[in-house]
Amino acid sequence: MPSMFSLAGKNAAIVGGGSGIGQAVAQGCASEGAAVTCLDLDLDGALRTAATIREGGGSAEASELDIADGPAVTSAFSAIKDMAGSLDIVVCTPAINFRKPLLDYTDEEMDRVLSLNLKGNAHVLQSAGRIMAEQGSGSIILFASIRSLVVEPGQSMYAATKAGIVQLVRAAAAELGPSGVRVNAVAPGVVDTPLTAQIKNQPDWYNAYATRNIFSRWGAAKEMAGPTVFLASDAASYVTGTVLFADGGWTAIDGRYTPPGM
């Protein structure tokens, strides 16, 4: 029997495929047989990911994309559909964060976070949703975060956008489900990526985060590929409008202190 996780014959657009989680997801989808298009503001990174996939025997192309530009998102997804014949999977991973108190945020910084994290993901949902609704099938996966549930000082705007992504996913799932389109989110915990380099460079901060989850370690970008492939595949054919937390148990526990005798 073919694997229920197989993506053979499917065309996947991975936004953010040039590095970090997006790169790992692109490689994971390709390893399960999908023809992958790596889309990223960093074209060189997208090209490198695509080249690595092809070197491993997979099918991959690359293109530049800024999800803050709605017409560009529509054009990119339409091009994939026209060239490949279908757009079966869309994954969107990019986000930006200014780690600073809310009272210190400038209007420009607010606009940048909202434009990329929230409006950009809405562009992805709109453009992919229109194509998939017309073809009668598809899976869209956005990236939320543990910050959609729990926060700390310096995470205000980022957390607000990640919570917003969850609600976008739920609403889109409700609206697109009758057309055969599934919409879900993956919510990572602390993962080693370029976005978290600031923390990795400060050992006390880095180690404090590691001890906050059940496994007492950070996640690797490749560990986000499995949950994403699951949601993209037929194994998740009855899963929509949900958030899959891949956080090492961060949101399941309240601190790491173990009482004496336990």
Which of these, 126, 54, 67, 73, lies nearest to 93 by C-alpha position? 67
152 part of a folded domain: yes
What Å distances lie between residue 134 and 3, 82, 86, 130, 235, CA to CA? 27, 13, 10, 6, 23
DSSP 202-213: SHHHHHHHHTTS
186 part of a folded domain: yes
Joined together, the tokens standing for residue 22 give 């997006």
24 part of a folded domain: yes
Please tell me the predicted confidence (pLDDT) of residue 195: 75
60 part of a folded domain: yes
Mean pLDDT of all residues in 118-123: 98
Q: Which of 158, 206, 209, 257 is catalytic?
A: 158
Q: How do strand 89-92 and strand 59-64 relate by DSSP bridges?
A: unpaired
Q: Supply the range of the domain harboring residue 113.
A: 11-191+224-247
Q: How many domains does the chain have?
A: 1
Q: What is the 3-state secondary structure (H, E, C) of 67-98?
A: CCCHHHHHHHHHHHHHHHCCCCEEEECCCCCC
Q: Is a pLDDT exceeding 70 seen at residue 237?
A: yes
205 part of a folded domain: no
The residues, any chain, with a CB within 8 Å of residue 98's CB and separated by 6 or more, are 105, 109, 112, 113, 157, 158
Taking all residues of the chain, what is their mean pLDDT, rounded to a whole number? Answer: 95
**Phi, psi dihedral angles at 239 (to 5 degrees):** -115, 115
Q: Longest Cα pair distance anywhere in the chain, in angstroms?
A: 63
Would residue 158 show up in a list of annotated catalytic residues for this protein? yes
CATH number at residue 28: 3.40.50.720
Instruction: Give per-residue pLDDT as tens, 185-206.
Output: 999 999 998 778 788 888 888 9
257 part of a folded domain: no
Instruction: Give per-residue pLDDT as tens, 77-104.
Output: 999 999 999 999 999 999 999 999 999 9
230 part of a folded domain: yes
Helix (H, G, I), strand (E, B) or coil at 222: helix
142 part of a folded domain: yes
Please tell me the predicted confidence (pLDDT) of residue 242: 98
Helix (H, G, I), strand (E, B) or coil at 51: helix
